[in-house]
Homo-oligomer: A and B are copies of this chain.
Amino acid sequence: MPKRNAIYAQSGGVTAVINATACGLIEAASSHRDLIGKVLAGRNGIIGVLREELIDTSKESRSTIQRLRDTPGGAFGSCRYKLSNPTPDDPDIRRLFEVFAAHDVGYFFYNGGGDSQDTANKVSKLSQELDYPVQCIGIPKTVDNDLSGTDSCPGFGSVAKYVAISTKEAALDVASMSESSTKVFILEVMGRHAGWIAAAGGLAGEDANEPPHLILFPEVPFDESSFLRKVESTVKRIGYCVVVASEGVQNSDGNFLADAGTKDAFGHAQLGGVAPVLAGLVKEALGLKYHYAVADYLQRSSRHIASKVDVEQAYAVGKGAIAAVAAGQNDVMIGIKRLQDEPYRWRLAPINLNKVANIERKVPRSFRTKDEYGITARARRYLEPLIRGEAYPLYRRGMPRYAETKNQLVAKKLPGYDV
């Protein structure tokens, strides 16, 4: 089999461990020199591929690649760009295959969420239609954990760990101050449509009196009076109340609470997040002193407290993607299969991309307590293994030593293309 080059592209929001996947893939590729020439990384993801901006990862030192395992963010850049109409006539698709041909690309690795798996699937089908052979492999990545076809998704375990620990730590702070000061603390976390990250906040405590006292899931319509009653009774019972809220919490009419009409100083609607809205309700209706935090990008880039299991899985799916092409596989996603909860055991499980439905996997009813404000024992059995272990980066003078890639591009061979 002649040696061909590979293209690797990161897609969508980055995570604390997506570079660990790149590390696994690039390291494994170097053990298949007979099969795989260069690993070219799309600069800023698929838009870099279309622009023929291809990073030559062989120009990075071995230690830089190694350190990618410990580095958050997307070292080669990522983007939110959907190949809108993957047909042979679509200009983007034509261009994609022109780039493949110009750089003798025989392997396409797309590292992202549901959309990316869908795209990888379509590119694989088009490769047959266009009679240009390319093995397409989807590699899972999303902090939201909403991807089907895999038991868990690299990126999620580390956000989950960050949110669980942050909830626990902030709760200790609030508990200390609540007698004379803050009574209600709200932590806003990611999760527009699926509440996996919020659910992970539940790992901060073990019984109903331990924080968090309320988790607000996007899966559950927000009930203002029930919420306020629960906050009030919690404060009465134990002196304070900790809330973990998904950014995607919605009213019963399906509108995001975060869009509930907050106006900024100029009178413009402000997409401000759900925490200030909830805090406003608490202050208004209950007159309780509140504090809130918005974790935003901190949660998905917090490599300093990444889950060891998550790092291992992220690395493994990258390595597994190379093993898949070496085994002649095509049109698969490198999923993760759980073999056992306790002790936790898992293995890679490539799944045909046709079977990776492009739907968001939500937090099931059985994972939420009867009152919809907590997580069940079943949810804990699922979530807990994913936050296990610490995988600390190296430090120098108090700061983590994250990889700095050179991102040197290979020479272009095609005319320009506007994306």
- Give chain A's interface residues, CB within 8 Å of chain B: 10, 13-14, 16, 44, 47, 71-75, 77-81, 161, 164-166, 168-177, 179-181, 185, 187, 203-204, 260-266, 268, 270, 272, 275-277, 280, 284, 291-298, 300-305, 307, 384, 387-390, 392, 395, 397-400, 402
- Chain B residue nearest to A267 (CB atoms) is B263
CB-CB under 8 A from A295, the residues of chain B are: 293, 298
Contact B294 A293 (CB under 8 A): yes
Docked-complex contact A165 and B47, CB < 8 angstroms: no
Q: Across the two chains, which residue of chain B brings its CB closest to A53?
A: B179
Task: Give Cα A161 to B400, complex, Å.
Answer: 10
Copies of this chain in its oligomeric complex: 2
Of B164, B180, B302, the contact of A81 (CB 8 Å cutoff): B180
A-B contact pairs, 18 of them (CB 8 A): A44-B179, A77-B175, A79-B179, A168-B400, A169-B400, A172-B402, A173-B300, A173-B301, A203-B399, A262-B263, A262-B264, A264-B276, A265-B280, A272-B272, A275-B294, A291-B296, A294-B296, A295-B298
CA distance A72 to B72 in the complex (A): 25
Contact (Cβ within 8 A) A79 B180: yes
Q: Bound complex: CA of A170 vs CA of B47, how far in Å?
A: 22
Q: Which residues of B sit under 8 angstroms from A276, Cβ to Cβ?
A: 264, 270, 272, 276
Residue among A169, A176, A303 with most chain B CB within 10 A: A176
Verify A388–B398 contact, CB threshold 8 A: yes
- Measured CB to CB, the closest approach of chain B to A282, in angstroms, equals 11
Q: Are B302 and A169 in contact (CB under 8 A)?
A: yes
- Closest 4 A/B residue pairs (Cβ): A73-B172, A74-B176, A387-B398, A293-B296
* Chain B nearest CB, measured from A201 CB (Å): 12
B residues in contact with A72, CB < 8 Å = 169, 172-173
By a CB distance below 8 angstroms, the chain B residues around A398 are 161, 164, 203, 307, 384, 387-389
Task: Evaluate whether A395 and B399 lie within 8 angstroms (CB atoms) in the complex, with A174-B297, A298-B166 already known.
Answer: no
Residues of B within 8 A of A277 (CB): 264-265
Known: A291-B296, A295-B298, A297-B293. A304 touches B399 (CB 8 A): no
Q: Which residues of B contact A168 (CB under 8 A)?
A: 399-400, 402
Known: A72-B172, A266-B284. 20 other contacts (CB 8 A): A10-B176, A16-B169, A77-B179, A79-B177, A79-B181, A164-B399, A165-B304, A165-B399, A170-B296, A174-B297, A204-B399, A260-B265, A262-B262, A262-B265, A264-B280, A275-B294, A293-B295, A293-B297, A293-B298, A388-B397
